[in-house]
Structure 1
Amino acid sequence: MTVAVETGVWQLDTTASAVALRHKTIWGLVTVKGTFGAVGGQGEVRPDGSATGTLTLDAATLDTKNKKRDEHLRSADFFDTANHPEITFAVRSAKAGAGDTVEVSGQLTVRGISRPQTLTARLAGADADALTLDTEFTVDRAEFGLGWNQMGMIRGLTTVSATLRFVRSAV
């Protein structure tokens, strides 16, 4: 699917978008999965076909289906949502890649710590009024101050997956 996406401003369709994470715990024996309940964002496609934008996650809405664990994830041991309520990904550049891919580079900010992040997304659908991107990438949580690790139970990288549907902004 090679589709030219129209220039202009695009808003994230929050009802058709999802961001989730998964991480192996208990020495790699159990995978914790969670989804963010509040996701927002917007982007702008420039005349040259490149794009910029911002994706924002409400860190306090991470739901792993375990209330005690979710409260711990919101605490200062992990996301510290009282002081850092949002996780943001500021897209500095998004350009069409080979086939249906989009090469994305930007800044991921978690707990007030920003790090460069690159990823490849797949253009899952596009028409004049909407486009959908799918992606999956890994993050080293220790780079963002999420180093709590009782008895070495949490190791390795966290996998983030997202389906993001953008609709043409009326503005």
Structure 2
Amino acid sequence: MSVAVETGLWQLDPTQSTVAVRHKTMWGMVTVNGTFTSVTGEGEVDADGTARGTLTLDAASLDTKHAKRDKHLRSADFFDVDRHPDITFAVRSAVPGAGDTVDVSGQLTVRGISRPQSFTARVTGSEAGAVTLTAELTVDRAEFGMGWNQLGMMRGLATVTATLRFTRATA
């Protein structure tokens, strides 16, 4: 990674961060887009430049701009927010890669089901006391117990995109 990030504790800036999801439905003819409006996180950068941390999404905060669909997504057919209010990604390892990349691996937990997840993020902004990462990854919702698929309308993987801005944590 060509950007040096200071060691220590970092805090996600939720006002400058977004996590969105898109998925094809209606037999691939319609793309549903949604954004999680409540995101928190923190991390720690070690002296060797590696990092670890946690990102937490309030599952009930998913907003697709369609109230009836959002209610269904919060139900037991999908996120089951009454029993599993949070979606978490525990970063076990974030290792600087070539250029502005970071190789990220960790554990994604949705509906109480955890699965390993790895992807490459990019450092898209760096200034004194702040760093911004962007990433795109695919998730198989069936691996997390979200198999609802009336008439085979929902196929394929969901795509998650994230822009995450971290600032130095104050003591």
TM-score band by shorter chain is over 0.9
Residues 55-66 of structure 1 aligned to structure 2 (within 5 Å): 55-66=55-66
Could you give the per-residue CA deviations for residues 21-73 of structure 1, whole angstroms, max 9, x where no partner exists?
Answer: 00000000000000001000000001111000000000000000000000000
The 2-side partners of 1:20 and 1:85 are apart by: 17
Structure 2 residue 166 is matched with structure 1 residue 166 = yes
Q: Considering only aligned residues, what root-mean-square deviation do their CA atoms show, in Å?
A: 0.7
Q: What letter matches 2:65 in structure 1?
A: K
| TM-score (ref. length: structure 2) | 0.99
Task: Give how far 1:159 is off.
Answer: 0.1
Q: How many residues align?
A: 171
1:59 and 1:86 in contact (8 A); partners too: yes
Which ranges of 4 or more aligned residues in structure 1 deviate by more than 6 Å? none
Query: Where in structure 2 are the equivalents of 1:1-171 lying within 5 Å?
Result: 2-171=2-171
Unaligned runs of 5+ in 2: none
Taking the aligned partners of 2:151 and 2:66, their CA distance within structure 1 comes to 20
Q: Matched residues in 2 for 1:79 and 1:120: separation?
A: 25
Q: Distance in 2 between matches of 1:2 and 1:47?
A: 15
User: Identity of aligned pairs, percent?
Assistant: 72
Contact 2:8 2:45 in 1 (8 A): yes
Could you state the TM-score of these two structures normalised by the residue count of structure 1?
0.99
For structure 1, list consecutive stretches of 5 or more residues without a partner in the other structure.
none
| Mapped partners of 2:99, 2:4: distance in 1 | 12
